Amino acid sequence: MLRCKQVSKALAEHNYQDLPLHRRVAMYIHIYLCPLCGAYQRRVVTLQNGVRRYLLHEREAPPPKDMRLSEERRKALKQKLHDSSAP
């Protein structure tokens, strides 16, 4: 049986989904049974899953309006690229 500290360390060093199946099974059992750390570790795994899903979203979905370059900076960048790439 895994100990809380081993689970905690493993989740600080790895993403749960990247662990080999036998380690995931052992951790799953611990996380779902342990009254001391189970709820916390389940939250860690949920946040890790959230990050994984977010990275897929970040790769494909256009940024929301409040996470875009300011107009001022956009113009300045265009000018800089124009000047720097001119022959």
Partner 1 sequence: MTTAPDVNPETWVEEHGDYLYRYAYVRVGDRAKAEDLVQETFLAALKALGRYDGRSKVRYWLLGILKHKVVDHYRKSSRETSMEEWSSRDMEDSLMFKVFGLPEDRANSWQFNPRRAFEQSEFWGVFSECLSKLKGPMQQAFTLRELEGFSTEQICKELEITANNLWVMLHRARGQLKECLDTNWIKRNQGK
| Chain residues that interact with partner 1, rule: CB under 8 A | 3-9, 12-13, 15, 36-37, 39-40, 43-44, 46-51, 53-55, 57-58, 61-64, 66-70, 73-74, 77-78, 80-82, 84-85
Question: Which residue's CB is nearer to partner 1, number 22 or number 62?
Answer: 62
Q: Give the shortest CB-41-to-partner 1 separation in angstroms.
A: 9
Q: Give the shortest CB-22-to-partner 1 separation in angstroms.
A: 21
The residues, any chain, with a CB within 8 Å of residue 1's CB and separated by 6 or more, are: 30
Question: Which residue's CB is nearer to partner 1, number 22 or number 66?
Answer: 66
Nearest CA among 71, 16, 83, 8 for reference residue 48: 16
DSSP element (H, E) containing 49: helix 38-60
What 8-state DSSP symbol labels residue 62?
Answer: P
Nearest CA among 68, 67, 74 for reference residue 82: 74
Q: Give the shortest CB-29-to-partner 1 separation in angstroms.
A: 17
